[in-house]
Amino acid sequence: MTLKQVMAQLEKLGTELYRKVLPRHGIEQPFFGVKYADLYKLQKQLAGEHELALELWQTGNHDARILATLIVDAAALGSRQLDGWIRDTENRVLMEAVAGVVARSAHGRKKADLWLKTKAEWKCAAGWSIVAHLAAEDPGVPDAWFADKLTLLETGIDNAPNFARHTMNQALIAIGSYRAALRADVFEAAKRLGKIDVDHGGTSCKTPDAIPYIKKVVARLKSKKKTATPRKPAALTTTSRKKRKAVRKAASSRRAR
């Protein structure tokens, strides 16, 4: 599909209901108001269309940019492109989507280290969202890197920008949920931090308490592990069946002797 065709499809998929919802989340025009379910369907059709993703981003349309984050080849994005995407980001929804792209790129840890230090709300929030993504999705990142982030989080959360506090809480939850070696440290930090206050504006969104949330995630992960379907043994070939039959026959003959 060409850019023109995709934009026409997005416009067709927009709904009046979502056009009313988006501004409550700080999302400004231009947008069509496309539901995520429809964006995911387009993602399946357009996955890997990297150049199209770059074109979609350049439109400045919110729905087009969200779709761009879903289909872009994160590994093909350079450091400057990622900096440009976060500079263009002006709302929490797009920030979360961009953070997911950065986490999948080759620059995730480096960008998190840099962006956590800024007072710019969406960039700082994206930095912590990257930490959360990496904790949950990249087992190759050492626990020591997350331990450093716990210290930075606990000492800096009081002076962090509003929505950065929400993604700091997300990072705390992700580290506690997926990094067992750091879970006790996370619980102690969460107790010291107490309730984390975030202004979510006119939305029904909430910032959850870390400890009970982590316990639920851990319980769910354990449950999934227990109920995982065991792998079936490979089917026997004709040759292997004959060999096993011969072995049984030989064993039977030995017992008879």
Predicted pLDDT of residue 244: 45
pLDDT digits (tens, 9 = 90+) for 197-219: 999 988 888 999 999 999 999 99
Average pLDDT, the chain: 90
Predicted pLDDT of residue 224: 86
Cα separation, 64 vs 54, in Å, equals 10
| Whole-number Cα distances in Å, 158 to 91, 141, 145, 197 | 21, 27, 22, 10
Q: pLDDT band at residue 249, thresholds of 50, 70 and 90?
A: low
Judged against a pLDDT cut of 60, whether residue 250 lies above it is answered with: no
Give this prediction's pTM: 0.86
Residue 32: strand, helix, or coil: coil
pLDDT digits (tens, 9 = 90+) for 234-243: 444 444 445 4
Question: For residues 27-43, b (16+ Cβ closer than 10 Å) or e, as one string?
Answer: beeebbbbeeebbeebb
The token pair at 159 is: 């002076």
Predicted pLDDT of residue 235: 47
pLDDT digits (tens, 9 = 90+) for 57-68: 999 999 999 999
Amino acid at the residue 236: L
Judged against a pLDDT cut of 90, whether residue 23 lies above it is answered with: yes
DSSP state of 105: S
pLDDT digits (tens, 9 = 90+) for 96-114: 999 999 999 999 999 999 9
